[in-house]
Amino acid sequence: MVTRKLCLAQDPEADELLSSDDFALLTGMLLDQQYPMEHAFRGPRKLAERMGGFDIRRIAAADPDEFEELGATPPAIHRYGRSMARRVQDLARYIVDNYDGKVENLWTEGDPDGKEVLKRLKALPGYGDQKARIFLALLGKQLGVRPAGWRAAAGAYGDEGSHRSVADVTDGPSLSEVREFKKQAKAAAKKG
């Protein structure tokens, strides 16, 4: 993992966790759906506070009912706290079972190119094509993880200078630019 300073949760403690723990970042991205982005990326910090730390193996091994309760306890990790807690636990188990609990193996094991990293991300529980492309763009743009062909594999999310996703959020103003882009895209989709 490279040293990095992310600003996705717009909260110093939550962003510190995202910056230092790859599974926290993967979890924040998982939670980023049907919920304001910065709140989704605060989810890992909420879990860490309730569990006395954020540990992928402890999450994977936790009692499912107890872990659901951790996710649903106000303030919940998501609008759908229980179901998203189940998804977080499924994601933890998948990484433990398939990548020895090391998230970075997704982009380092076997020296994969951008297409292969995208394929691995798309195979994650709770990750579809779009979420996988956004996460790949985030890796390349903000974390210095740039396997060959990563921009092409990330599609428009990998475009230099774009403001279309969480991959482009580096501070408050860039978050506003991403929100404006999404608002315009939604309006264009309604017209089209």
Is residue 7 included in any domain, yes or no?
Answer: no
Report the number of distinct structural domains present in the chain.
1
Q: CATH number, domain at 116?
A: 1.10.340.30
Domain span holding position 90 = 12-191
pLDDT for the residue 41: 98
Is residue 6 included in any domain, yes or no?
Answer: no
Cα(95)–Cα(24) distance, integer angstroms: 12
pLDDT for the residue 167: 97
Is residue 3 included in any domain, yes or no?
Answer: no
Is residue 1 included in any domain, yes or no?
Answer: no
pLDDT for the residue 103: 98
Is residue 85 included in any domain, yes or no?
Answer: yes
| Buried/exposed 35-61: b ≥16 CB within 10 Å, e otherwise | bebbbbbbbbbbbbeeeeebbbeebbe
DSSP 145: -
Is residue 4 included in any domain, yes or no?
Answer: no
Structure tokens at 19: 């910056």
Is residue 5 included in any domain, yes or no?
Answer: no
Tens place of pLDDT per residue across the chain (192 aa):
444 799 999 999 999 999 999 999 999 999 999 999 999 999 999 999 999 999 999 999 999 999 999 999 999 999 999 999 999 999 999 999 999 999 999 999 999 999 999 999 999 999 999 999 999 999 999 999 999 999 999 999 999 999 999 999 999 999 999 999 999 998 999 887
Amino acid at 104: E
Nearby residues of 24 by Cβ (< 8 Å), 6 or more positions away: 17, 18, 44, 45, 48, 54
